Amino acid sequence: MRIVNYIRHKYAATEQGARDLIRSCLLSAAMDVVLMLPVALIFLIVRDLTGNGITNPWSYVWKIVAVLLIIMGMAWIKYNKQFISVYQESGRRRIALAEKLRKLPLSFFARKDLADLTSTIMADAAAIETGTSHFVPDLVGSMISILLIGSMLFFFDWRMALAAVWVIPIAICVVLFSAKFQNAFSRKQNQAKLDLADHIQEGLETFQDIRSCDAEKGYLDDLYTRIDLTEKRALQAEMGMACFVVSGQMILRVGVATTVLVGANLLVSGSLDLLTFFVFLLVASRLYDPLSGALMNLSAVLALNIPSERMDEILNHEEQTGEEKLTNRGYDIEFRDVHFAYDTSETVLNGVSFVAKQGEVTAIIGPSGSGKTTISRLAARFWDIDSGQITVGGMDVSKVDPETLMNLYSIVFQDVTLFNNTVLENIRIGRKDATDEEVIAAAKLAHVDVFAEKLPNGWNTLIGENGSELSGGERQRLSIARAFLKDAPIILLDEATASLDVENETFIQESLSRLVKDKTVIIIAHRMRTVSGADKIVVLENGKVSEIGTPTELTQSGGFYKRMQDIQQNTLKWQL
């Protein structure tokens, strides 16, 4: 069981995958042993030729056929058990990875670069699949078979056996000594690949800005530099490993020479018969082949340490868990002395307390960086707070399973995510079992019908990757329509109308007023016009609540809200 656990950690495998890998290694060793049968057959033929002669040639024909059949059968079993089981494990690994990612807190993704995470999910999983199907079983199997065959040689003649096998531990030690260097090379190579992938992805995402700023040359110069560095790191890794692997293979070949020299000396002295000498020459010529071939792929085996560590980091990361039963009484959201920081060096919220009541619209305003968006994310448990408490209807959100908790929320963030699908299907994400009529009704509440019915195929028009065929305001309205369709008791709107013009913003606010009945609504906005109709306004400054009250109360108090009103009124008078 200890070996199984070691392999699970070493290669980010499931328990079944670890057991299958052990079986594959044993089958590879058995295959190497079976491949020694032709050597045994040659020994029998030579023995009979040098003895009484071959009296029944057909007996050897049948033996040759039997050996071929055994080799073919063993090869078939090895292939099926080794490769098919690995591919099945690869499927289990990817499913486990997807399930794990679904349960991780968003704080994990905030710390992870997108290119790095994509590389782990795709490239690292593929690398482990290739390594555990082609390289690891052959390497481990060759070591086991050599140990078995080498041990058997000592029963024939310990002197010749020692002359044949003394090079094996030395060759293995030389190559294993390279593991530390190989890991260092692999880490540098992997980091160079990630930097290159990240730069390419950044270029694809910002190509419009790069071109508009005439920055193509600077971007490409930087890209070529990263490509050259990636190539350099790859060559360093290959050359560094080649030095050790070639040295190990050369040492193995010395074993053939020592076998010949020791055997010849013993043969001349009369302490070794010719047939035994011949057998050891045959075995020595075949003994090193499995390990020599496996050493060529040792760099690939050692390189698995990096993707395995990266994948293991995800699979062993702490999950967000909680009760799968909702116990809230009503839908008031209360923050009680909440402290939160995205990392240990920067506090975002420092003792925030307020209540967003059911049936009311609570607006969160404040300067950039004051923690407004953070409040909406903490309310939905995208992150867990450092101290304090957040409750929904008296239920502590930190004690509830995140997926269960999300049943209470309809959320519209400033950054809209859409899919290359139809208008209808992009809205239906809000509630997968909704009928077309229900989807269209929700869409009309968000005034999606204004532009959707003008598209080439109407509601069934494909909108491109992340809604590339739509304007910013149109994309935002689709996101708002999703929230309407879900019709959850709590609505979080983070700059939901930021991309809309004044007319459409008015339409959306009218729609929201119809939805707010008996619901808890939190709106985060910079424009004072957006929050002027709120029941309560919470002003955040430097991570603390500086003001709470109705729009009228805050206007009369002359604080931040009043100053922002005056500033935005003055901007309306600005002209070119």
pLDDT the model gives residue 104: 81
| pLDDT of 133 over the 70 cut | yes
Specify the length of the chain in residues.
576
pLDDT the model gives residue 574: 60
- Among 170-179, 396-405, 423-432, where is mean pLDDT lowest? 170-179
pLDDT tens profile 453-468: 888 888 888 887 777 7
pLDDT the model gives residue 549: 87
| pLDDT of 334 over the 90 cut | yes
| pLDDT of 400 over the 70 cut | yes
Q: Where is pLDDT greater, at 489 or 172?
A: 489
Q: What is the mean pLDDT of the chain?
A: 81
pLDDT the model gives residue 146: 80
**Residue given tokens 């390189």 in the structure block:** 303
- Among 42-51, 196-205, 346-355, 518-527, where is mean pLDDT lowest? 42-51
Tell me whether strands 520-524 and 490-494 are parallel, antiparallel or unpaired.
parallel
pLDDT the model gives residue 344: 60
Burial of 87 (0-12, 13-18, 19+ CB in 10 A): exposed
166-175, 180-189, 244-253, 364-373 — most confident range: 364-373
CA distance 467 to 34: 60
337 — pLDDT class (breaks 50, 70, 90): very high
pLDDT the model gives residue 186: 75
Q: Where is pLDDT greater, at 414 or 494?
A: 494
pLDDT the model gives residue 463: 84
pLDDT tens profile 230-240: 888 888 877 77
pLDDT the model gives residue 355: 92
| pLDDT of 120 over the 80 cut | no
Which residues lie closer than 8 Å to 328 by C-beta, 6 or more apart? 391, 392, 393, 394, 395, 408
Q: Where is pLDDT greater, at 309 or 333?
A: 333
Taken in order of first residue, the domains within the chain and their CATH numbers are: 2-315 (1.20.1560.10), 333-572 (3.40.50.300)
